[in-house]
């Protein structure tokens, strides 16, 4: 945003795991934008489908393993536009924070329940959420949670996100990600059907 030194030049990364329909394979996706949420780079994984043995072995830790190891790490390593702040909507991604050197926060609409974060020792923890209000009044307030053991992430992220949230809905890019992943799945399905019919 011009005139907003806190967010000027900031690059926001929206990181998500989009589950396929009917429990089909899901994909991880990363959309890097400028401070106005205009796209700079998009990356996604190939479809991820844990087999029954993996489901049994990983149990309750499977989702956080997928989020950090199969989605977050490879996508952040591949992206050329290095983000200032990583935004997620699932605290499962917080397991990634200890492996990277980038501020990370989880955003939800005010009033939405945020699930607990399962830590490596089986306990749960999360930072106390902060409220992010839209200065222009255009968007519903958001609750912002930082990863456990990285308390400075919350205030650092809020410094960047406050001016951005005045003009841009910070959850809207996740809708774009879902649409793009759905289109990629559709194209692959059509391509696979064509190959079968030859």
pLDDT digits over 37-93, tens only?
999 999 999 999 999 999 999 999 999 999 999 999 999 999 999 999 999 999 999
Distance between CA 175 and CA 178 in Å, rounded? 5
pLDDT digits over 150-172, tens only?
989 999 999 999 999 999 999 99
The number of angstroms, rounded, from the C-alpha of 14 to the middle of its chain's C-alpha atoms is 5
Distance between CA 96 and CA 72 in Å, rounded? 7
The number of angstroms, rounded, from the C-alpha of 191 to the middle of its chain's C-alpha atoms is 28
Find, among 116, 120, 144, the residue nearest to 68 by Cα. Answer: 120
Confidence grade of residue 115 (pLDDT, cut at 50, 70, 90): low
Domain ranges of the chain: 12-197
Domain 12-197 is in which class?
A: alpha beta
CB atoms within 10 A of CB 178: 14
With pLDDT > 70 as the criterion, what percentage of the chain qualifies? Answer: 84
């Amino acid at each position: 945003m011009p005139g907003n030194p806190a967010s000027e030049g900031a690059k926001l990364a929206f990181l998500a795991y989009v589950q396929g329909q009917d429990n089909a394979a899901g994909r991880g996706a990363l959309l890097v934008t400028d401070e106005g949420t205009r796209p700079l780079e998009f990356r996604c994984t190939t479809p991820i489908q844990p087999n029954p043995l993996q489901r049994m072995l990983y149990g309750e830790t499977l989702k956080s393993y997928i989020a950090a190891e199969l989605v977050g790490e490879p996508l952040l390593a591949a992206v050329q536009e290095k983000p200032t702040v990583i935004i997620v909507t699932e605290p499962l991604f917080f397991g990634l924070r200890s492996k990277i050197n980038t501020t990370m926060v989880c955003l939800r609409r005010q009033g939405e329940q945020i699930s607990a974060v399962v830590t490596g020792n089986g306990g749960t923890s999360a930072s106390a959420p902060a409220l992010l209000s839209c200065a222009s009044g255009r968007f519903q307030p958001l609750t912002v949670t930082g990863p456990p053991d990285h308390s400075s992430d919350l205030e650092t992220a809020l410094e960047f996100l406050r001016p951005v949230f005045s003009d841009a809905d910070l959850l809207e890019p996740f809708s774009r990600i879902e649409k793009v992943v759905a289109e990629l799945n559709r194209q692959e399905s059509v391509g696979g059907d064509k190959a079968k019919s030859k």
